[in-house]
Structure 1
Amino acid sequence: MSAPSLDPVLSRIDSDISAATERLMELLRIPSISTDPAYKGDCETAADWLVADLASIGVEASKRPTPGHPMVVGHAGPEGADVPHVLFYGHYDVQPVDPLDLWDKPPFEPELQETPKGTVIRGRGSSDDKGQLMTFVEACRAWQEIHGELPCRITFFFEGEEESGSPSLVPYMKENAEELKADVALICDTAMFDPKTPAIVTMLRGMLGEELTVIGPDKDLHSGFYGGAAMNPIRALSKVLAALHDDQGRVTIPGFYDGVPELTDELKAQWEGLGFDAGKFLGEVDLSVPAGEQDRSALEMVWSRPTCEVNGIWGGYTSAGFKTVLPSEAHAKISFRLVGTQDPLAIRESFRTMVQELLPEDCKVEFKAHGASAASQMEISDPAFEKARQALSDEWPNPAAYIGCGGSIPIAGHFKKILDMNAMLIGFGLEDDALHSPNEKYDLNSFHKGIRSWARVLDALSR
């Protein structure tokens, strides 16, 4: 049931959708590729565009310099101790477009296209994250136009380096913590469960990366002269990698599961009610059998359970033809997705100890770290979460669900650690949006109903 103040806002969104789409197209035409220095000026242009657009709806917004690309920060809404205050985060930078020859249309000449599934907005950044960011801005525009003010206090926080590792983000947040602090953070850089089922992501896996080099003889050896007598580093590495999992798919590193929580019965029932088809999910990539912990559902495997995956192996001769050589070194890269309160640094130490214990006498190992971040778990006992879930349910055909995310979105953890506030991750992307790939798109329905959804969420959070 919507409040009387909400209905005219929703009507305004519906009548303004063409103009809202054109505003998004303007932003999509700016090639704000953050990782390529050649586009530094375009990132500045995108930040300026957002400052001007926010100002057009009454937001006190400005471009804030960083050592890299600028932040855009704005404030609007009624003041007062009893007025809820939310922070909305999005990013205006986009991924590079390579390989360009795989795009059907120029990536920064966005357009509406008709597809068998409906109308889509085609162009780089349409889903990740400009289209998602603008759903929130357009919801605020409609509130402002109808009522002359926003329903609650809002801080807008837009980043320009998300696609290049966010090097300026944490220092900026620490230096400006007082200005950014709010009751709850809203993040739009996520997706629906399916085209009819909205979702709030409440758990994000952390990440640990490790690279190891196993070293044996001091040079590559002729396998005819030394084979059998000399230890082959690839053989030693293969033994290590094979030992990382047992026959049931569990990771064998000592202490690995310390801090891994069990799902609540309520959340498990919600996930079971989503009707996820593991066979279809794997069948789309020509697989059929879930390979993780065998006592867990496929959704648990990708949302709420930790993983250990070998991402690359190399060593010896791999070029054309054949060379009978025992290599001097063998290499592997391994990533761990972490959940709950798993300690990435403790796991790193345990992993390295295990590797050293498994190596034969004539081999040594060198390690190289590739980042370590803990998982994020949101406190859904906060009443704001249930208010938002119900608001989303009122807009879409199926009830909204609390879901997990197999990937890692560090900003949610930063909000908790630096600003001590929960984050709600609500987005309207779909799995076929081709994020980071050629021909990226955002469904027009996602854009339209995403705007309406944010209007409902703001209404719910303000009451």
Structure 2
Amino acid sequence: MSTIEKVLARIDADLDKSLVRLFELLKIKSISTDPVFKTDCRAAAEWLSRELTDFGIDANVRDTDGHPMVVGHKKTGKSGPHVLFYGHYDVQPVDPPELWHSDPFDPKIVIREDGTEMIVARGAADDKGQLMTFVEAARAYVAETGDLPIDVSILLEGEEETGSPSLHPFLIANKDELTCDLALVCDSDMWDAETPAVTVMLRGLVSEEVSVKAAGRDLHSGMYGGAARNPIHVIADIVANLHDHNGKVTLEGFYDGVVEMPLDVKHLWEEIGFDAKAFLNCVDLEIPAGETDRSLLEQIWTRPTAEVNGIIGGYAGAGFKTVIPAEASLKISFRLVGNQDPVKVRDAFRSYVHSKIPADCSVDFKAHGGSPALRLDFDNPALTKGKNALSDEWGKTAVLIGCGGSIPIVGDFKTMLGMDSMLIGFGLDDDAVHSPNEKYNMKSFHKGIRSWARILDALSKE
């Protein structure tokens, strides 16, 4: 048997022990947002530190202004990339508790009618079950071979569910220690229950608030209608001309830096069986509204957007009030892709808005943050190895997917530590993350452990 075959056999033999350890972690009420559970969050950090130390990871608990971090290192001196694995041990509140079928901190194995075994508990999928797939893979590798195949560092935080307020200062203070060749992040999903995936693209974000002021006070629409400027009309004109008839954003230079996907990736997406109609039908829609010459997957993964998130102005209470408001405002966000520059996009939008403002009106802007898109190069050797390792384990070609949203930690790793991230997780759409009766499929847990073992082995190879 090869080394990896021996490690996989060890994982299979020790699965019950791995499950016991996961259940121990799931029983800890590490709800980060509620101060009542502060000691529980520390207990979870200390538990993880002990477990890592138990099989040879040099780990300890690090205090922050909030909940502690767990940092561990295993230096092997072997060739191959030095990776930083990231996960989080904090969980969401369980509210409303009456909707749970059992105690959310008393994990259970539940079997569906179709025979699917599920681990049910708060944190089963987000993120304790996910992070333990990596921990158990590392444990099995050390148990079988006496070491890991490459240098591994581990960072586990306790505030992800509350916006990670302590993470930025922690990364700054420990930059030299935590900077590695590649970050591995487990807080993501498979394509479906049988098809593994690597998330390689995250869209960036620019958010802006615009306030347009006209008259010095609200006006009677009978006395001033037709003569006085209505700021809601100005806002409406701004919005109406932001896209052309093909769904493209009209801002000058908006598509600078947008990168086309390789043809082989596009062809792979065509073959994975994505049902665009069903995707929209589940939210009671039928017709894609983005760029008319792009598939729906391209629209949500690889194309930039301009979306109005709110328009405020005038009277919106019960009944009717014939008023021309003195002020109206707009909230808008831009999802960025490729190499789009958040600063240039914001400047282009503001220039566009200024061009729409009448001379007797004024406009104010309020920025709500901006971050660039992130993408792992498709020719990155680590990506190829990770994809092939997943394909070997699951018996289906792993899919390279995008994420329409943004994952802050991945951006922090890139901008603060200069590291790319490979996002590999084994969650499913029906895991009820953040909801009552959260679950993680037993198959996800078992094959997730095996997958990480294969990935670590693959990364060690030339």
TM-score, length-scaled by structure 2: 0.94
How far, CA to CA, are the matches of 1:224 and 1:10 in structure 2? 78
Unaligned runs of 5+ in 1: none
1:208-244 Cα distance to aligned partner (Å, 9 max, x none): 1112222222232332333332222222211211221
More displaced, 124-133 or 339-348? 124-133
Q: Report Cα offsets for 1:12-71 as digits up to 9, x if no partner.
A: 222322332232222222232333334333222221121111112221101112222221
Q: Distance in 2 between matches of 1:110 and 1:214?
A: 53
* Pair 100,207 (structure 1): closer, same or farther in 2 beyond 3 Å: farther
Match of 2:109 among 105, 112, 130: 112
Letter in 2 for 1:88: F
Aligned-partner residue type, residue 302 of structure 1: I
Query: 1:276 maps to which residue?
Result: 274
Q: In the alignment, which residue of structure 1 is the partner of 2:341?
A: 343
Give the aligned partner of residue 4 of structure 1: 2
> Which residue does 1:76 correspond to in 2?
74
**Equivalent position of 1:193 in the other structure:** 191
Write the mapping of 1:298-337 to structure 2, written as runs, cut at 5 A.
Answer: 298-337=296-335
1:448 positional shift: 1.2
The farther-off stretch of 9-18 and 94-103 is 94-103
For 2:228 and 2:456, the matched residues in 1 are separated by 68
Structure 2: how far apart are the matches of 1:105 and 1:311?
38
- SS of aligned partner of 2:3: coil
Q: Check conservation: 2:190, 2:427, Cα contact below 8 A.
A: yes
- Pairing partner for 2:90 from 82, 90, 93: 93
Q: Give the match's secondary structure for 2:87.
A: strand
Q: Which runs of 4+ in 1 moved over 6 A?
A: none
- Which SS does the other structure have where 1:6 is aligned? helix
Counterpart position of 1:354: 352
How far off is 1:78 after superposition? 1.9
Match of 1:22 in 2: 20
1:290-310 per-residue CA deviation (whole Å, 9 max, x = no partner) reads 111111111111111111111
- Which residue identity does 2:109 align to in structure 1? L
Task: Answer yes or no: is the 8 Å Cα contact 2:212–2:235 preserved in 1.
Answer: yes
Match of 2:243, SS state, is: coil
Query: How much does 1:376 deviate?
Result: 0.8
Q: Which moved more, 1:394-403 or 1:297-306?
A: 394-403
Q: Name the stretch that deviates more: 112-121 or 281-290.
A: 112-121
Summarize the Cα distance change of 1:311–1:33 in structure 2 as closer, same or farther, 3 Å threshold. farther
Matched, 1:233 2:231: yes
Residues 95-244 of structure 1 mapped to structure 2, 5 A cutoff: 95-116=92-113, 118-244=116-242
Counterparts in 2 of 1:249 and 1:452: CA distance versus 1, 3 Å: same
Query: Which deviations, in whole Å up to 9, do the C-alpha atoms of 1:138-168 show, x marking residues without a partner?
Result: 1111112222222222111112222222222
Question: Alignment RMSD, CA only?
Answer: 1.9
Letter in 1 for 2:395: P
- When residues 84 and 258 of structure 1 are mapped into structure 2, their CA distance, relative to the original with a 3 A threshold, is closer
Counterpart check, 1:459 vs 2:453? no
Preserved contact between residue 77 and residue 151 of structure 1 (Cα < 8 Å) = no
How far residue 106 of structure 1 moved from its aligned partner, in angstroms, is: 4.1
Higher mean C-alpha displacement, 298-307 vs 315-324: 315-324
Q: Take 2:214 and 2:100, find their aligned partners in 1: how far apart are those partners?
A: 46
Give 1:326 shift: 2.2
Name the SS of the counterpart of 2:143 in structure 1. helix
Q: Residue 435 of structure 1 corresponds to which residue in structure 2?
A: 433
Point out the more displaced range, 171-180 or 246-255: 171-180
Once the two structures are TM-superposed, the CA of residue 348 in structure 1 deviates from its matched residue by 0.9
Distance 2:281 2:63 in 1: 47
* Other structure's SS at 1:311 match: strand
Offset at residue 451 of structure 1 (A): 0.7
CA contact (8 A) 2:202 2:407 kept: yes
Query: Hey, what's the Cα distance between the residues in 2 that align with 1:314 and 1:416?
Result: 36
1:394-413 equivalent positions in 2, closer than 5 A: 394-413=392-411
2:290 aligned counterpart, secondary structure: coil
Alignment CA distance shift 1:333-1:32 (3 Å): farther
Alignment length, in residue pairs? 460
Structure 2's unaligned 5+ residue stretches are: none
Aligned to 1:53: 51
In the alignment, residue 314 of structure 1 is paired with which amino acid? Answer: I
Offset at residue 380 of structure 1 (A): 3.1
CA distance 1:121–1:365, shift in 2 (3 Å): farther
Write the distance in 2 (CA, Å) between the matches of 1:135 and 1:77. Answer: 20
Which structure 2 residues correspond to residues 376-415 of structure 1 after superposition, within 5 A? Answer: 376-415=374-413
Q: CA deviation at 1:431?
A: 1.7
Task: Read off the aligned partner of 1:95 and give its amino acid letter.
Answer: Q
Look up the SS of the partner of 1:26 in the other structure: helix
Match of 1:262 in 2: 260
* Residues 102/334 of structure 1: CA separation in 2 closer, same or farther (3 Å cut): farther
Q: Do the aligned residues in 2 keep the contact of 1:211 with 1:367 (CA within 8 Å)?
A: yes
Q: Could you tell me whether the CA contact under 8 Å between 1:77 and 1:149 is conserved in 2?
A: no
Q: Is the 8 A contact 2:32 2:38 kept in 1?
A: yes
Q: In structure 1, what is the Cα distance between the partners aligned to 2:432 and 2:365?
A: 34
Q: Report SS of the residue matched to 2:85.
A: strand
Whole-Å separation in 2 of the counterparts to 1:146 and 1:321:
73
Structure 2 contact 80–459 (Cα < 8 Å) conserved = no
Question: CA shift at 1:101, angstroms?
Answer: 4.5
What's the CA shift string for 1:253-291, capped at 9, x where partnerless? 111111001111222222222221111211122211111
Q: Does the 8 Å contact 1:138/1:451 carry over to 2? A: yes
Partner-residue secondary structure (3-state), 1:149: coil
Return the offset for 1:100: 4.2
